[in-house]
Amino acid sequence: VVDALGDLRDERSIPALLSILPRGSGDQFGTPGPPKPLGRKAAESLAKIGARALPALKSARRSHDKDVRANARYACSLLGIK
């Protein structure tokens, strides 16, 4: 479902995807291993939505939750933003 929300590229899914960011960030970065955590999948879906998700992602990068911060940074990196 998380992947499908990104495939829709509908900005109405941004709040739902943001709420999933705390669900683990993982640190696989392309290495084989267990499935990606939901938080990482949500980050990828937010990146698919693109620029419309940027304000929310920039705010999430300042979260007190380390997984939210990591996933928001990951999504921004997929968009080419540091």
Instruction: Return the pLDDT at 33.
Output: 57
Instruction: Return the pLDDT at 24.
Output: 83
Long-range contacts from 28-32, C-beta under 8 angstroms, 24+ separation: none
Instruction: Return the pLDDT at 36.
Output: 80
The two structure tokens encoding residue 52 = 């419309």
Instruction: Return the pLDDT at 9.
Output: 94
Q: Are 42 and 70 in contact (CB under 8 A)?
A: no
Residue 76's identity, in one-letter code, is C
Instruction: Return the pLDDT at 25.
Output: 76
Mean pLDDT for 5-15 is 95
pLDDT tens-digit profile of 13-48? 999 999 999 988 765 555 555 668 999 999 999 999
